[in-house]
Amino acid sequence: MLITTSMLLWSIVIALLLYRWLRSTGRKPKNFPPGPAYSIPFLGDYGWMLLINGRHLHKAAISLGDFYRTKILGISLSNFPSIVVNDLAVAREVLNRKEFDGRPDLYLARLRDKQFNRRGIFFTDGPAWKEQRWFILRYLRDFGFGRRFPEHESEVNSELLSLIDMLKYGPKYEHEKAIMKDGYVKCPNVLFASFANSFLQVVCGERFPREECGALFETGSNAMLFQRNGDDYGTLLSFYPWLRHIYPFSRRFHTLRDASLRINDFIQSIIEKYLHTHDPNHVRCFLDLYFREMEKCTPQESSFTFQLDQLVLGVVDFFFPAISGATTQLALLFERLLHNPHVIKRMQQEIDDVVGHGRLPTLDDRPQLPFTEATLREGLRIDTLVPSGIAHRLQEDTKLQGYDLPKDTFVLIGMDAMHNQKEYWGDPECFRPDRFLDSNGKLSLAKDASLPFGAGKRLCAGETFARNIMFLALSALMQNFNIRQPPSDRLPDLTDRLTGVIVTPKDFWLRFEPR
């Protein structure tokens, strides 16, 4: 077949246009960290990451960093200059510099709000964020969030006793029967009610009674839907929101959107219950303090102040990690413990020696339970829950490790990567709680360089609450039970995890066998 001159010229023109498109798509600023020279049209370097490892984008970023021999990877996310920091020392620097404290305007965050506004604490920034974050943390502390509070610890103890009763004697209600079959319970779902109630006690001073906890199990399932269907980078919807109208992107959009709104409706129903009976002269709980501020403010649309939609997402931002984050972290740890039964035995011996069996472990026992605490810390390290953290946004032009970064650069922290750096951990692939103990068997915080909750101004505000509730739950369960898989099940494949917004195991079943 003869090629005409016209066809040849058109081929050259198309080739030149394609070359120019490839050169301009995802072009990075001067003196930017190393990364792919050419981006995939439309997708940017997000496309390369999908090709390298679409199921685990944080691992794709590690592979790209290794290929370009850099701990600070420079990429373009659909024309947004972005960096991924895969080094512990650099991550600490970034997290403690205020110019990195911004948040990008991600559509994944906006779809959580009924009107697609930026609301809440985790995905907002600026003066309004600072005011809201300060107020919420300051007054939640008065009710036991982030500090020792005997009344709250007593309620958590009661909640754990209820969980232990269910595990020992079986389900009493229909919602419990859905997660318990033939003596086995579904993980992480079995923990939803206990962890959610522990947080709700702080916010509104009440817990759902056992017979009414079906709403908590349903809300936890919705939270897991969101966690598993998002991704580290906000999904492609954050770069091209119009894709929500096109299948199959529309399917994921509706899964994320519907799950979010159901969680919001649940929290709003609790808020409105207290709002309808609010007396400005009588403070019953944290919500009453927020209602007082709402009465002084006029609701805003473009930004936010003390207003109902902001309160809903503000509470959701703390409730969400409690019901789906901390519960998932313990489920990941249960899988590790199935592979390491000697760790279970050692925790049980320690708890038996210190606490005995007449009561549940308390936070006062924690200093005398160093191996149990070390086991939890090792779980937080080796199974990093949020593998790329939550994206930051650079608020001004700056330099990092000799590189020039322009304002509005996306910044992702490779939490999983830095928790597996051989230069810091030696044998990061090994589950070894003793790495956090000194020569006398005492917990050594100096040996724990991990940052599972971040650092700096964007440190996860629920760190203390999460560490406390996970410690109390783990120690209570180890005190009272051994864990067993169904006889037909193989040991869990620890490489076969799901990566969404967080890393989760596939749902699995365990028997908590009374000791």
CA of residue 134 relative to chain centroid, distance: 21
Distance CA 144, CA 280 (A): 22
Residue with tokens 């119009």: 242
Query: HSE (CB half, 13 Å, CA atoms) of 278?
Result: 20
Query: What amino acid is encoded at 47 in this protein?
Result: G
Distance (Å, whole) CA 496 – CA 490:
13
Q: How far apart are CA 459 and CA 467, in angstroms?
A: 14
Spell 49-73 as b/e; 16+ CB within 10 A means b. Answer: bbebbeebbbbbbbebbeeeebbbb
Contact 277, 81 (CB under 8 A): no
Extract the tokens encoding 477: 């369960």
**Cis before 370 (ω within 30):** no
Residue identified by tokens 């919001």 is 264
> How many angstroms separate the CA atoms of 287 and 277, rounded?
11
- Count other Cβ atoms within 10 Å, centred on residue 439: 6
d(CA 425, CA 402): 26
Peptide bond preceding 248 in cis form (omega within 30 of 0): yes
Query: For the chain, what is the total number of helices (H) and then of strands (E)?
Result: 19, 12
User: Is residue 266 a contact partner of residue 260, using CB atoms and an 8 Å limit?
Assistant: no
Question: How many whole angstroms separate alpha carbon 448 and alpha carbon 425?
Answer: 10
- CA-to-CA distance for 453 and 456, rounded, in angstroms? 10
**Number of neighbours of residue 493 by Cβ within 10 angstroms:** 10
What is the 8-class DSSP label of residue 515?
-
Residue 187 labeled ligand binder:
no
**Considering Cα of 74, then 394, then 23, then 78, what sign does the dihedral take?**
positive
Report yes or no: 481 and 383 within 8 Å, Cβ to Cβ.
no
How far apart CA 170 and CA 183 sit, in angstroms, is 7
Amino acid at 166: M
Q: How far apart are CA 36 and CA 61, in angstroms?
A: 11
Task: Output the known binding site.
Answer: 460
Task: Output the known binding site for heme.
Answer: 460
